[in-house]
Amino acid sequence: MYAPPGVKVDSEFPVPQTMKAWVLGSPGELSLREKPVPVPKKAEVLVRIDAVAICATDLEIIYHGPPASILGGMPFNKNFTPGHEYMGTVVALGPGVDEYAIGQRVTVEIHAGCGQCKRCREGMYTACHNYGLNYGDVDKGHRANGFTTDGGFCEYQVNNINTLVAIPSGMSDEEATLVVTAGTAMYGLTELGGLVAGESVVVTGPGPIGLLGVAVAKAMGAYPVILTGTRDNRLKIGRELGADHVINVRAEDAVAAVRRLNAGKGVDYVLECSGAPNAVNEAIRMVNRGGKVCLAAFPHEETPVDVAHIVRNNIYLYGIRGEGKSATHRAEAFMAQKRFDATRIHTHTFPLADLPTAIRYAKDRVDDAIKVVVKARGVSAAHKIAAE
């Protein structure tokens, strides 16, 4: 029976000693194994994982390694479990924890900062100076589940209380996995200035973060909100989430179209979510003088940037990593209030045992997959397309 010293459990939520967990071997190779259920320490809880979404960064880690860093290096063949966009139920409390109750549903952020470095004290825990430097010794404080420590493609995981976001009973498991995605978009827009109603915004790249970037920007009062991309089906979803205009960049020049749609001038903000090689140079030409650009995507290679144009036009560039400064709490509040419907980007659900198929759908965009969710319980069919 699971009953570690100092850990509070409840017979209503029994916890086994071991759990099923997907483990990363060589690049692209995952195997389902038994692992010990982890034990929460001070300021930590044990979460029974009910659902986890697949992120493009998970695919990068599984097939290429970075940005994960396990034991100081690549994550392959180190008994590492990836996955980071998960939600679940609190089933055990570490010593002294009374902020959350057993049985409470939560969604989970990736990062818990060390709480000791300069950036953490500023609230920038996703830029923790001890990121990845503890190499498994979580007593140092920093933890990035699915990046520097085990993640969520399993049945149970430990999380710091600072990474938890309580969710309402009416929010489905699938929707709850999207809070982190919405939180990343929220963080980018917060860093750009919090958005004043009526400010103009371009979102480039209709992936999950870009689509929810449209939704968050619109919910915060931006106008017009313009979405650019290459796939009409995703641009259509962007419209449904609040985009005032959409631009297929294969059909027309994105910069010229943005200026045409915004009364012949540049916009106030660009949220860049495509990672395309020309994305930064296009973004700095979409904003007006003194405008701001937030980079929220990982390009696959170094790209040249017209710094002279940035300087001449007093343009500000921001880079974000993840969903910092408690942006997930604000995103969850918007979702709980039905300010936008994040479930429009959820397209497929699979059981945890069928994770390889779920990853294939996400990686190869099978059936126009956008956000694929894996559930540890409650899915009996081989796979299920998201409800209308």
pLDDT for position 383: 43
What percent of the chain lies above the pLDDT cut of 90? 83
Domain at 194, CATH number: 3.40.50.720
Write out pLDDT tens, residues 60-75: 999 999 999 998 899 9
Among the three residues 319, 350, 367, which one is the final residue of a domain in this structure? 319
pLDDT for position 379: 59
**Same structural domain for residues 101 and 241?**
no
**Same structural domain for residues 162 and 185?**
no
Write out pLDDT tens, residues 317-340: 999 988 888 899 999 999 999 999
**Same structural domain for residues 40 and 70?**
yes
**Same structural domain for residues 210 and 302?**
yes
pLDDT at 387 over 60: no
Mean pLDDT, to the nearest integer, of 362-377?
95
For 209, the 3-state DSSP assignment is: helix
pLDDT at 15 over 60: yes
Residues in CB range of 218: below 8 A, 6 or more apart: 225, 241, 242, 243, 340
Distances (CA, A) of 368 to 215, 349, 361: 20, 13, 8
**Same structural domain for residues 311 and 370?**
no
**Same structural domain for residues 292 and 350?**
no
Structure tokens at 177: 């996995």
Write out pLDDT tens, residues 209-253: 999 999 999 999 999 999 999 999 999 999 999 999 999 999 999
Rounded CA-CA distance 204/255 in Å is 11
Domain at 369, CATH number: 3.90.180.10
pLDDT bucket at 386, cuts 50 / 70 / 90: very low
Q: In what side-by-side order are the strands of the sheet with 287-295?
A: 245-248, 225-229, 201-204, 267-272, 287-295, 316-319
Contact 122, 136 (CB under 8 A): no
Determine, yes or no, domain membership for 1.
no
What percent of the chain lies above the pLDDT cut of 70? 95
**Same structural domain for residues 288 and 198?**
yes
pLDDT at 388 over 60: no
**Same structural domain for residues 185 and 315?**
yes
pLDDT at 355 over 70: yes
**Same structural domain for residues 280 and 205?**
yes
The mean of the pLDDT values for the chain is 93
Considering its fold, how many domains does the chain have in total? 2
pLDDT bucket at 135, cuts 50 / 70 / 90: low
Residues in CB range of 126: below 8 A, 6 or more apart: 110, 111, 113, 320, 321, 322, 323, 324
Distances (CA, A) of 304 to 38, 266, 278: 45, 22, 8
Residue 296 amino acid letter = A
Q: Decide: residue 238, CB within 10 A, 0-12 exposed, 13-18 middle, 19+ buried.
A: buried
pLDDT at 136 over 60: no
Determine, yes or no, domain membership for 290.
yes
Determine, yes or no, domain membership for 76.
yes
pLDDT for position 328: 94
**Same structural domain for residues 347 and 232?**
no
Determine, yes or no, domain membership for 57.
yes
Write out pLDDT tens, residues 77-131: 999 999 999 999 999 999 999 999 999 999 999 889 888 899 999 888 888 888 8
Determine, yes or no, domain membership for 296.
yes
Write out pLDDT tens, residues 166-210: 999 999 999 999 999 999 999 999 888 877 789 999 999 999 999
Determine, yes or no, domain membership for 379.
yes
Give the domain extent around 308.
Answer: 181-319
Flag the least confident range among 43-57, 129-143, 249-263, 351-365: 129-143
Name beta bridge partners: 48.
89, 156
**Same structural domain for residues 82 and 154?**
yes
Among the three residues 288, 319, 350, which one is the final residue of a domain in this structure? 319
Determine, yes or no, domain membership for 250.
yes
Determine, yes or no, domain membership for 335.
no
pLDDT bucket at 385, cuts 50 / 70 / 90: very low
Rounded CA-CA distance 215/238 in Å is 8
**Same structural domain for residues 244 and 307?**
yes
Rounded CA-CA distance 22/38 in Å is 15
Rounded CA-CA distance 258/203 in Å is 11
